[in-house]
Amino acid sequence: MYLVEMKQVEKTYNLGNVKVSALVDINLQVRPNCFTVISGPSGSGKTTLLNMIGCIDHADQGEVLVAGENVRAMSDDALSEFRAKHLGFIFQNFNLLPMLNAYENIEYPLLLNKVPAARRQQKVNTLLEMVGLSDRAQNRPNQLSGGQRQRVAIARALAAEPKIVLADEPTANLDSHTGAAIIALMRKMQNELKVSFVFSSHDPQVHAEADDTVFIRDGRITKISRQGEGERVLDLMRAVQ
Ligand SMILES: Nc1ncnc2c1ncn2[C@@H]1O[C@H](COP(=O)(O)OP(=O)(O)O)[C@@H](O)[C@H]1O
Ligand SMILES: [Mg+2]
């Protein structure tokens, strides 16, 4: 079964009386336990597509199934609950809560899901160890490096044991060395926790690690490369740079 299925999805933004077609006839299937990378130039619709999968934004038309559920038919309350249970989010600018320390940031989604205290503590400590930050549990985001902040964000995204983690340009604000370490960490977490990652990115390091790559341009999918065609994807990346 696919984790995400989109059929003939359309999204148009209205800016005054100007219509912007952000997504046009999107047909997409996301495989479980994979790295899927959405690749395209700035303004091509990557974030809009991720937001549709993440149930942050509504499609105007078409079918969106996430973890088998028809999310377009859900009420806002049902969607909030669905998001908290099944989806994790990682952002370009980390989006950690500044007043909470690393431990509390990771614990936050567990509080939202009403996980009991003992289980929360065990889960947060395990995740802190997995991302190599056990000794930084008490640090607030402004007392952490960019790479460390993204490690906290990864742990937070995985805390509620989601099926899918959506990562919008997760390495864009990191130097390439730190970015490589973050990608390796996400791969490790994906393997160990059997979760799927869907990225938007134009970082060649992220593309090199992709199982599936979805190329998008002007809101339309122009090509999907599945695992095993990795070399060809890299060649294409070099060709367009
Ligand atoms: N809230 C919005 N209102 C109006 N237009 C938007 C909005 N969000 C995105 N867009 C437009 O939709 C298109 C796709 O944007 P986006 O998904 O952010 O692209 P990307 O993430 O690939 O840079 C762009 O033309 C952008 O200007
Ligand atoms: Mg974007």
Does residue 64 register a pLDDT over 70?
yes
Which tokens go with 116?
Answer: 């009991």
* Residue 81 DSSP SS3: helix
Does residue 233 register a pLDDT over 80?
no
Ligand 2 centre to CA of 135 (Å) is 33
Ligand 1 centre to CA of 49 (Å) is 10
pTM across the whole model: 0.91
The 3-state secondary structure of 93-112, one letter per residue? CCCCCCCCCHHHHHHHHHHH
d(CA 136, CA 91): 20
φ, ψ at 198 (rounded to 5°): -120, 120
Q: What is the pLDDT of residues 104-159, one digit of tens each?
A: 999 999 999 999 999 999 999 999 999 999 999 999 999 999 999 999 999 999 99
Give the dihedral of Cα atoms 220, 171, 97, 166; nearest 10 deg: 40
φ, ψ at 133 (rounded to 5°): -125, 25
Nearest CA to ligand 1 atom 17: 45
Average pLDDT, the chain: 93
> How far out from the chain centre does Cα 140 lie?
23
Domain residue extents for the chain: 32-45+76-240
CATH architecture of 32-45+76-240: 3-Layer(aba) Sandwich (3.40)
Ligand 1 centre to CA of 119 (Å) is 40
Does residue 103 register a pLDDT over 70?
yes
Output the pLDDT for position 1.
82
